[in-house]
Chains A and B, each alone.
Chain A
Amino acid sequence: MNISIDVKELDQQTTMTLAGEIDAYTAPQLRETAFPYTEKKQASVVIDLSGVTYMDSTGLGVFVGLFKSLNANDGTLKLVGLSDRLKRLFDITGLADIMNINSEAEGGV
């Protein structure tokens, strides 16, 4: 039960690459790492989930929290590289309709 979080900042855009499992044990770590980037004005945060092997509802809660925080600061959130299983999770919860979600990983920079 581990997660790795790699953060790259370029101008206004923050790209986070996650790998591992997002559950009740690792979610607090993700929240603490990612939250500060969502609190800047008009931040653009891209999160690459292609290395995520498991995510439960606690993990989903973190993304909703990030989404809300970015919205409150006129920022944007984009999730990329979702596996079918993750895609289903966002579909079921209705989040796919309000969040920017893409199954493909981001090409280039």
Chain B
Amino acid sequence: MNFRDRMLDEYKEILKTYIHDQTEQALYMSQKFSRKSIEYKISPEEMISLHKTSIMDLEPDLPESLLLSLDILLEVMMSYGLAYREHQSLRTIQRELINEIEVAASMQQTLLGTQIPRISSLDIGAISVPAKQMSGDYYHFVSHENGAISVAIADIIGKGIPAALCMSMIKYSMDSMPDDSQNPGDVLERLNRVVEQNVDPTMFITMFSGLYHPDNHTFYYSSAGHEPGFFYHAETGTFEELQAKGLLLGVDKKAKYNEYERKVEVGDVILLMSDGVTECRTEEGFLEVDTLIAYIKKYIHLSAQDIADKVYKELEYLQDFQLRDDFTLIILKRTA
């Protein structure tokens, strides 16, 4: 007995049961049957043909007109069958695309990977979580020969794959900068020229660039339209915004970036973040700066990485575990 005959028998049995005494059982069986036919890729028009054969067998005295009507139904169902097969093939393509994006996302991780530098006087922590598969946030550390550390945090406006590609460009121009131009203002001016020339005119980048000198424990910084960070004074237990003015990268190639500096004492903490942190939306509206600071303060005594992880957990909880924007938080804490 071949497959079609077996299906035919099964269908005929269901039909017979139902015609005989309209039980729930027969309806249930037909639902099961329908799932099985989908699994075995039986098209809608084949089902009609199966139905016609069965009913002719079971009720040979049916009026001719009813049987003829089934031919029309069969013709009409053909398009449904085609649409269904198209849907199936699109699903296959979609699965392939998802795989490709996964590969790209993991490649992004590898390409853009950055090592958190280790220096004796500074404890550094970082967390970056994309809202979608590919992040538009980016951070990067560079250790210089003289012991200084550069840190950059950027948000590529325009999300997804184009942003990710753009980020690789930023990373390589940062890595290829000569060791003698570490000043945050210079870094931004150079990158601004790169971005202005090379990037799609509707794509922009905000970036905060900093340099920590362990010799004099001073943090130098400049901002290109980036969300200001916070500075925690251990002595007074107070927070202050790291105000810095500067235009987004990629808008005006002649833009200049002012440099600011801050003396860092033992226990002081520098917090850098993306706008996914400050623009975090909760059920009651936007996250207020005071609320954010309260969370940071709650964990400020911990190690840098723990502060970053714990604050992320708190905000993730506030947003019901649904990140709307990429989230990046970098913590620099002077320990000695």
B225 touches A92 (CB 8 A): yes
Produce 1/0 per residue, A66-106, CB < 8 A to B: 01100000000000000001000000111101100000000
**By the criterion CB–CB under 8 Å, are B227 and A95 in contact?**
no
Q: In the complex, A85→B202 CA distance in Å?
A: 23
Nearest CB to that of B224 among chain A residues? A94
Please determine whether B204 and A61 come into contact, CB atoms closer than 8 angstroms. Answer: yes
Chain A interfacial residues counted at CB < 8 A: 20
Q: Are A57 and B201 in contact (CB-based, < 8 A)?
A: no
CB contacts under 8 Å to B, within A22-76, are: 24, 31, 54, 56-58, 60-62, 64-65, 67-68
A94 to B206, CA, bound (A): 10
| Residues of B with C-beta under 8 A to A67 | 251
Q: What is the CA–CA distance of A46 and B275 in the complex, to the nearest angstrom?
A: 27
Least Cβ–Cβ distance between A52 and chain B, in angstroms: 14
* Contact assessment for A61 and B275 in the assembled complex, using a CB-CB cutoff below 8 Å: no
- Once bound together, how far apart are the Cα atoms of A31 and B279, in whole Å? 22
Instruction: With a 10 A CB-CB cut-off, give which of A57, A65, A93, A97 has the most chain B CB atoms.
Output: A57
Taking the nearest CB of chain A, how far is it from the CB of B97, in angstroms? 19
The distance in angstroms between the C-alpha atoms of A32 and B264, with both chains bound, is 48
The answer to the question of B142 belonging to the interface, with a C-beta cut-off of 8 Å to chain A, is: no
Tell me, in angstroms, the Cα distance from A100 to B70 when the chains sit together: 70
Known: A57-B155, A61-B158, A93-B206. A68 touches B251 (CB 8 A): yes
Known: A56-B279, A97-B247. A65 touches B225 (CB 8 A): no
Interface of A is mostly: helix
Q: With an 8 A cutoff between CB atoms, is B334 at the interface?
A: no
Residue in A closest to B325 when the chains form the complex, CB atoms: A56
Q: How far is the CA of A92 from the CA of B227 in the complex (A)?
A: 7
User: Which residues of B sit under 8 angstroms from A56, Cβ to Cβ?
Assistant: 275, 279, 325
Known A58-B157, A85-B286, A94-B247: A31·B227 in contact at CB below 8 Å: no
| Minimum distance in angstroms from A86 CB to a CB of chain B | 12
User: Chain A residues with Cβ under 8 A from B247's Cβ?
Assistant: 93-95, 97-98
CB of A95 within 8 A of CB of B248, answer yes
Name the residue on B nearest A68 (C-beta): B201
B159 interfacial by beta-carbon distance below 8 Å: yes
Shortest distance from the beta carbon of B162 to any chain A beta carbon, whole Å:
11
> In the assembly, what is the distance between CA of A94 and CA of B325, in Å?
21
Of all chain B residues, the one with the shortest Cβ separation from A57 is B157
**Which chain B positions have C-beta within 8 A of A95?**
225, 247-248, 251
CB neighbours (8 Å) of A61 from chain B are: 157-158, 202-204
CB-based contact B157/A31 at 8 Å: no
Binary interface encoding of chain B residues 226-254 relative to chain A, with 1 for a CB under 8 A from any of its CBs, else 0: 11100000000000000001111001100
Contacting residues, chain B, for A97 (C-beta < 8 A): 245, 247
Q: In the complex, which of the residues B158, B201, B206, B245 contacts A58, with contact meaning CB atoms closer than 8 Å? A: B158
Give the complex CA separation of A24 and B225 in angstroms: 19
Question: Which residue, A54, A58, A92, A98, has most C-beta atoms of chain B within 10 A?
Answer: A92
Task: Please measure, in the bound complex, the distance between the C-alpha atom of A92 and the C-alpha atom of B248, giving whole angstroms.
Answer: 9
Give the shortest distance, in Å, between B227 (CB) and chain A (any CB). 6
Complex alpha-carbon distance, A93 and B157, angstroms: 12
Evaluate contact between B226 and A64: CB separation under 8 angstroms: no
Q: Which of B157, B158, B225, B275 contacts A94 (CB 8 A)?
A: B225
* 30 pairs, CB–CB < 8 Å, chain A vs chain B: A24-B159, A54-B281, A56-B279, A56-B325, A57-B155, A58-B157, A58-B159, A60-B204, A61-B158, A61-B203, A62-B202, A64-B202, A64-B248, A64-B251, A65-B201, A65-B202, A67-B251, A68-B201, A92-B225, A93-B247, A93-B248, A94-B245, A94-B247, A95-B225, A95-B247, A95-B248, A97-B245, A97-B247, A98-B251, A98-B252
